[in-house]
Amino acid sequence: MDLDAAQAAVERACEEFKVPATAAAASAVLLQFRSSAGVLQACRQILDRSHSLDARFHAAAALREAVVREWAALGPDGRTVLRSYLMSYLVAHAEDPAMQVVRASLVSALAVLLKRSWLELEEAEARMHHHRATFFSELEAATSSAAARGPAAGAAARRVGVQVLEAVVGEFSVSTSSPLGLPLEHHAKCAMDLQDHFLQDIFRHAVALGRAAAAVHDGATCAACLSLMTAVLAWDFRRSPSSASFSFTTQQTMAARAAAAAAAAAAANTATSA
């Protein structure tokens, strides 16, 4: 695929879509682009180089679909590269409010990328959960690195990190997962593994970050943490040998309530002052 030609075609179609006389033809071009083989590189070029927000939106949506469709062609190395790219891109554009819709598609793509690879490694390695924990440590490193650009950049990156975690919780939940062309058993195993080994830590992270944000009256981050906590508490908990004793202790529950109250107050104060 000629990347420059693909970018030009998508940008032109985005402009023509705004004109009633050419909207139908432009829509066909955009749909063809999204379903094209080998579209991932073109998506990255548009995301990196295009000045058209509409073109970036369609590139992000196409990338989200291509992650599932071109999974085998990507290969393990390609998936690792794409994961790092998405994390870096989200952090780099975390402060731009105009990019919110683009970020939403890329956040979803990152969650799908994680889930699709969740059960693919050898059983012995999977049992150690190293490859799964790596995702979360890489996400933390990517969001933390933004603090070097200033407090605002650091806060925006932390919010994006929370949004990624919420997308992961939603993607791994059996009731809200995306169709990935995999049997229901795969979805169920992923959900149980996240529940048994990571969900409680995700919740603790949301509580801690929400408290810290409330202390500095960062209402936007508080709201993001509240949304993540709500997603975790809405999880359909199922028992397994590993999760037989899984529960939130009274102390953790009280801490969550306190953090939620503080976060809500901070969010309200921010809205009032605005």
pLDDT per residue as tens, the chain (274 positions): 799 999 999 999 999 999 999 999 999 999 999 999 889 999 999 999 999 999 999 999 999 999 999 999 999 899 999 999 999 999 999 999 999 999 999 999 999 999 998 877 645 455 545 667 888 999 999 999 998 899 999 999 999 999 999 999 999 998 889 888 888 888 999 999 999 999 999 999 999 999 999 999 999 999 999 999 999 999 988 755 454 444 444 444 445 555 555 555 555 555 455 5
Cβ 229 vs Cβ 177: under 8 Å: no
Cβ 164 vs Cβ 98: under 8 Å: no
Q: Say how far apart CA 261 and CA 259 lie, in whole Å.
A: 5
- What does DSSP assign to residue 181? S
Q: Do 31 and 164 fall into the same domain?
A: no
Q: Do 172 and 46 fall into the same domain?
A: no
* Angle, CA 114 vertex, CA 120 and CA 175 arms, to 5°: 100
Helix (H, G, I), strand (E, B) or coil at 274: coil
**Pick from 49, 69, 89: which residue ends a domain?**
69
Q: Do 157 and 255 fall into the same domain?
A: yes
For 155, the token pair is 């806060």
Helix (H, G, I), strand (E, B) or coil at 237: coil
- By CB atoms closer than 10 A (0-12, 13-18, 19+), residue 137 is exposed
Whole-number pLDDT of residue 247 = 47
For 147, the token pair is 């603090």
**Pick from 50, 69, 88: which residue ends a domain?**
69
Q: Do 84 and 177 fall into the same domain?
A: yes
* Phi, psi (degrees; rounded to nearest 5) at 122: -60, 150
Q: Say how far apart CA 104 and CA 98 lie, in whole Å.
A: 12
Instruction: Give percent helix, percent strand, percent coil of the chain, each to the nearest 5.
Output: 80, 0, 20
Range of the domain at 8: 1-69
For 70, the token pair is 């071109």
pTM of the model: 0.85
For 87, the token pair is 């994390």
Give the total number of structural domains in the chain.
Answer: 2
**Pick from 69, 100, 117: which residue ends a domain?**
69
- At 36, the amino acid letter reads S
Whole-number pLDDT of residue 119 = 79
